Amino acid sequence: MSEWTEDDVRRVTMNPFYAITVAPIFCEPHETIVSEDQWVAANVRLIEEEGAEAYLRRLLDLLKGEEER
């Protein structure tokens, strides 16, 4: 990805994978990029900015591995 769009940043922020460590059986152990508290705070801000429905639809698409609607 050469340039990050606003939507790219939102998707990364929304993805809980970046806030918690996934079981080693599924991936290699790694340091988290942000704490759980930072992840929650960032997502609260996103919900306030774009509304719960838009946020949840994007999160659902992300979790299902689907492209943007």
Q: What is the pLDDT of residue 1?
A: 47
Q: Whose CA is closest to 19, among 50, 42, 44, 53?
A: 42
Phi, psi (deg, nearest 5) at residue 4: -85, 130
Map residue 11 onto helix, strand or coil.
helix
**3 pLDDT tier (thresholds 50, 70, 90):** confident
Q: Whose CA is closest to 68, among 9, 7, 6?
A: 7
Q: Whose CA is closest to 7, among 58, 48, 43?
A: 58
Per-residue pLDDT tens digits for 18-30: 656 656 666 666 6
Q: What is the mean pLDDT of residues 5-28?
A: 70
Report whether 26 contacts 38 (CB < 8 A): no
Locate the domains of the chain by residue range: 6-17+31-64
